[in-house]
Structure 1
């Protein structure tokens, strides 16, 4: 078997190898980033160090920087997927250091944000909703305006009302909750979206395994609670007075923002809460529940309408959707 030093000598004496090596060396040293790095550190680098580091410099130039050669994070061409190279000078040698690329940073932030949004029985497409993806027709402008105002003005510990989004089925109330949750997650604010009919069914079954109190405490103390489709459940005195009532009472006392969606307006929801499954009429208990909901949220009608062209004038460069929306309002 040929020894490694003999192999290197043989390759070094090979004319084609020398030509290829010289071309690689020239291309590497003429790379704009390499030239800029060598110029920046010209007082610390000599020719001997450069020759010794040609391999590291070539490694740097042969990879994607700032995702400029990658179609996606999954299609990353670099040695370490999601990490791009940076030239560094350390201990009298030139080395390559790897940091997260822009796409990796965005993907990591998205995963962090998703962990901040907890949900129970909520479809995935609602959890993926964003303000940018909303169809803003004339019937939704007020709701989106108030939702955006809440997100931009939210500060933990300060009293701030949530929204009671009501309207017909399919107008986008739940999607708006998802968009609000995702914008809050960007501000590192935790929230929970809960589909009320399934929640109440689970609460009933939680009596058997003694987890009811634990689940109620979680709902009571969540920084932002979103109760989706309240009024769609088959109401019983127990779910109204022993589950929803204590949760909303605690959140009212602690000034914890609470959002609701419903097919009913306040008057219709009060009528729904008045009558139990057994047909019992309990007006005072329903009224007490509605007092909590009114205290916690502002009613906003959401209607389905064709998207309206808001303006022919060019929109200011305002950054993300929320800022752009308010720039338009000016």
Structure 2
């Protein structure tokens, strides 16, 4: 392949064009992004001259990535993809791979396809601590939620939170803010509406996705179980789903957060009943011991926000 520079020299003898080309080449090769890509690669002047267009493309795309405006505003030719420079058959070429934001979006899409009950209202997904209504009644709960979000260390510290309060006081909104703050720290979290999740897990036995769904929830870095206690309980849900999730997360030191209209004692009483009418206090107590030991109880007070 004829190099760009040799072709241009045949088209014109204008010394100024040659000087500008040489200046542009020096500027390109002085770019730290380009220098790092070339480091350790066996490239002579001929290969370099023939690959200048690829290098310019690499420089532009990678510098876009260095100043990333977010996935939605990605200016690269292929949104969400970044180039890697390779040398193949004595030629500079580029391979494109998903960037970290694109991979995260793809993971989130796969998660939503796998677990439908991950869906929560948009206003919850968009919740931030800056946008919370921080009245006195919610001050302590907001402070503890923020402290968890900025200090969480999944895999090292499995301590979570248990948010208790009446219907509509903003517990789920706080959890949305926690999830968004964790995302800023590149910590994966699931926020699951518990009644829908348990129904979905029961249905998933028939379509063969039960274990896959269970493993996904067990292993996520931070799990938020919203409105626990609102579900219809059964021994199977309590022991084989909730119990299995909490046991794994306890052993792996993965924090779990809860919201509920029940306090600890009320939830234990709820878990003791099954849909068949039996009472299994010991099994309920075993679940509650895990919850109590690995959460801090936080009462969320205030007026019903939904009635405004």
TM-score normalised by L of structure 2? 0.65
Question: Higher Cα Rg: structure 1 or 2?
Answer: 1
Distance 1:93 1:151, change over 3 A: closer
Corresponding residue for residue 277 of structure 1: 275
Tell me the distance in 2 between the aligned counterparts of 1:227 and 1:111. 26
Secondary structure at the aligned position of 1:235 is classed as coil
Q: For each residue in 1:158-187, what CA deviation from the matched residue of structure 2 results, as whole angstroms up to 9, or x when unmatched?
A: 124111011011111111111111111111
Corresponding residue for residue 90 of structure 1: 24
Do 2:154 and 2:222's aligned partners in 1 also have CA atoms closer than 8 Å? Answer: no
Tell me the distance in 1 between the aligned counterparts of 2:71 and 2:279. 53
Distance 1:133 1:267, change over 3 A: same
Number of aligned residue pairs: 227
Q: How much has 1:253 moved relative to structure 2?
A: 1.4
Q: How much has 1:90 moved relative to structure 2?
A: 1.0
Q: How much has 1:306 moved relative to structure 2?
A: 10
Corresponding residue for residue 194 of structure 1: 192
Distance 1:92 1:295, change over 3 A: closer
Do 2:142 and 2:174's aligned partners in 1 also have CA atoms closer than 8 Å? Answer: yes
Q: How much has 1:157 moved relative to structure 2?
A: 2.4
Secondary structure at the aligned position of 1:193 is classed as strand
Q: How much has 1:303 moved relative to structure 2?
A: 1.1
Corresponding residue for residue 295 of structure 1: 293
Task: Pick one of 166, 178, 183 that aligns with 1:180.
Answer: 178
Do 1:190 and 1:223's aligned partners in 2 also have CA atoms closer than 8 Å? Answer: yes
Do 2:158 and 2:256's aligned partners in 1 also have CA atoms closer than 8 Å? Answer: no
Secondary structure at the aligned position of 1:122 is classed as coil
What are the residue-to-residue correspondences of 1:137-152 with 2, within 5 Å? 137-152=135-150
Tell me the distance in 2 between the aligned counterparts of 1:164 and 1:116. 27
Structure with the higher fraction of residues in helix conformation: 2
Q: Any gaps of 5 or more consecutive residues in structure 1?
A: 1-47, 54-88, 308-330
Task: Pick one of 241, 245, 250 that aligns with 1:247.
Answer: 245
Distance 1:112 1:131, change over 3 A: farther
Task: Pick one of 204, 225, 238 that aligns with 2:202.
Answer: 204
Tell me the distance in 1 between the aligned counterparts of 2:102 and 2:166. 33
Do 1:162 and 1:297's aligned partners in 2 also have CA atoms closer than 8 Å? Answer: yes
Do 2:167 and 2:304's aligned partners in 1 also have CA atoms closer than 8 Å? Answer: no
TM-score normalised by L of structure 1? 0.61
Tell me the distance in 2 between the aligned counterparts of 1:159 and 1:282. 31
Matched, 1:267 2:265: yes
Q: How much has 1:252 moved relative to structure 2?
A: 1.1
Q: For each residue in 1:94-125, what CA deviation from the matched residue of structure 2 results, as whole angstroms up to 9, or x when unmatched?
A: 99x86549783485698777667666132222
Tell me the distance in 2 between the aligned counterparts of 1:114 and 1:210. 25
Task: Pick one of 213, 216, 221 that aligns with 2:214.
Answer: 216
Q: How much has 1:92 moved relative to structure 2?
A: 7.5
Corresponding residue for residue 38 of structure 1: none
Tell me the distance in 2 between the aligned counterparts of 1:269 and 1:135. 28
Tell me the distance in 1 between the aligned counterparts of 2:279 and 2:27. 83
Do 1:113 and 1:185's aligned partners in 2 also have CA atoms closer than 8 Å? Answer: no
Q: For each residue in 1:67-112, what CA deviation from the matched residue of structure 2 results, as whole angstroms up to 9, or x when unmatched?
A: xxxxxxxxxxxxxxxxxxxxxx5138999x8654978348569877
